[in-house]
């Protein structure tokens, strides 16, 4: 089974009372780190054969691609112009309760597990061939976090221009704020807090990498960078003291 290498955010709606969430499990037209692009229509047949309204519903909603951790049951899977839109009723379990809390704080991204049925290579650029995925057999859609994925906010950061690095700091600060809120909830399982702590350590590495990289932008951008760095260090120190 192949996992899509780039997790997608995209929580569209949440009904905590009904324990229902709606999100994009995958987006069309985006190249992942393996050089794959999922095209519209790739999920059509698999949804018809094994989706929630089929005779043999088999597509699971998992946590971190772990087949032993089923988060919920899909009530609808549909392709729209953006991607694979998923609607799931979250299980009434401890894992499910934690998942709803993390969804409410917008801490989840999503990734799909599938088998490729039909694909086509585009070698217009011989140095960067791209595989178009035309038909897939979908096994599962997972709710995932940054800390549990091989990709991090620092992928390719050394090749980024200074403007992109500065926006990377903003992204980490935004993620930090969400983690602060999660740690203050006080009603999550120990395993969930441990996962948040692991992500905090990942963020620590990210901050160090961003702050240590030399910046050579124009003066106005450089001034912004100098102001942001102490703030990031201070935020990180306060955050790690909480855990």
Q: Is the pLDDT of residue 190 over 60?
A: yes
Dist. CA 197–CA 242, nearest whole Å: 10
Give the model's confidence band at 117: pLDDT under 50 very low, under 70 low, under 90 confident, else very high. Answer: very high
CA 177 to mean position of chain CA atoms: 17
Return the pLDDT at 236. 52
Question: Which of 3, 25, 137, 4 is closest to 84 using CA atoms?
Answer: 25
Residue 29's alpha-carbon distances to 5, 47, 54, 138, 177, in angstroms, are: 14, 19, 27, 17, 30
What one-character-per-residue DSSP string does 98-127 give?
A: HHHHHHHTT--EEEEEEEEEEEEEE-SSTT
- The pTM assigned to this predicted structure is 0.72
Q: 90-102: per-residue pLDDT in tens?
A: 999 999 999 999 9
Its sign, for the CA torsion 102, 103, 107, 111, is positive
Dist. CA 34–CA 205, nearest whole Å: 24
What is residue 150's DSSP assignment?
S
Return the pLDDT at 159. 41
Question: Which of 99, 95, 96, 74 is closest to 84 using CA atoms?
Answer: 74
Dist. CA 107–CA 102, nearest whole Å: 5
State the chain's mean pLDDT as an integer.
79
Q: 141-178: per-residue pLDDT in tens?
A: 999 876 444 333 443 334 445 555 555 667 777 777 88
CA 33 to mean position of chain CA atoms: 14
Q: 39-95: per-residue pLDDT in tens?
A: 999 999 999 999 999 999 999 999 989 999 999 999 999 999 999 999 999 999 999
> H helices of the chain, where?
44-50, 94-104, 162-183, 190-212, 219-242
Residue 88's alpha-carbon distances to 13, 23, 84, in angstroms, are: 11, 9, 13
Residue 190's alpha-carbon distances to 122, 183, 205, in angstroms, are: 47, 11, 23
Count of C-beta atoms within a 10 Å radius of residue 155: 12
């Amino acid at each position: 089974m192949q996992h899509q290498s780039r997790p997608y955010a995209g929580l569209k709606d949440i009904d905590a009372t009904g324990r229902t969430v709606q999100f994009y499990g995958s987006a069309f037209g985006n190249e992942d780190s393996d050089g794959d692009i999922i095209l519209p229509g790739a999920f059509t047949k698999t949804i018809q054969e094994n989706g929630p309204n089929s005779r043999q519903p088999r597509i699971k909603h998992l946590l971190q691609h772990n087949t032993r951790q089923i988060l919920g049951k899909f009530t609808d899977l549909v392709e729209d112009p953006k991607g694979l839109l998923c609607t799931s009723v979250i299980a009434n379990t401890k894992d499910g309760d934690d998942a709803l809390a993390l969804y409410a704080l917008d801490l989840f991204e999503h990734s799909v597990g599938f088998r490729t049925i039909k694909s086509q290579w585009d070698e217009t650029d011989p140095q960067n061939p791209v595989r178009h995925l035309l038909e897939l057999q979908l096994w599962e859609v997972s709710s995932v976090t940054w800390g549990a994925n091989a990709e991090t906010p620092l992928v390719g950061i050394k090749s980024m221009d200074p403007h992109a690095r500065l926006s990377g700091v903003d992204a980490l600060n935004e993620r930090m704020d969400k983690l602060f809120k999660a740690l203050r909830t006080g009603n999550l399982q120990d395993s969930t807090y441990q996962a948040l702590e692991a992500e905090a350590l990942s963020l620590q590495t990210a901050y160090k990498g961003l702050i240590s990289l030399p910046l050579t932008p124009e003066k106005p951008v450089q001034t912004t960078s100098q102001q942001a760095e102490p703030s990031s260090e201070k935020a990180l120190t306060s955050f790690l003291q909480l855990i």
